[in-house]
Structure 1
Amino acid sequence: MKINKSIGCTIDECKYHAKNESYCSLDHINVVKHENKATSQEATDCGSFESKK
């Protein structure tokens, strides 16, 4: 698995998490909002998340 040290990640339930290191293995991520106007960190999410199976 390739580690992208430009994308930090602590969500080890994601299939793209870099296992023993707190990084993502994707080349890029898609950040999305779940409110009409994002005014806080809680209003955004990583849209690239996929659950480990």
Structure 2
Amino acid sequence: MNQFFILNYSPKTVGGRWKIQVEDKRAENAIFHQVILLIIRMIIVERWKMED
């Protein structure tokens, strides 16, 4: 997971404009939220399996 975010951060330092940084942040946040939702779903499914 860390390698993925390092790759995401690199364009920010190259193109020093604020607009690019803001767009990168939005993209990062969208991806980050999707990853968290997937992890939560996996945890819920695991709990259901354990209860059965």
TM-score band w.r.t. shorter chain: under 0.3
Which protein has the bigger helix share?
A: 2
Structure with bigger RCO (C-alpha 8 Å, 6+ apart)? 1
Which protein has the bigger strand share?
A: 1
Which protein is bigger by CA-based radius of gyration? 2
* TM-score of the aligned structures, taking structure 2 as reference length: 0.21
* TM-score of the aligned structures, taking structure 1 as reference length: 0.21
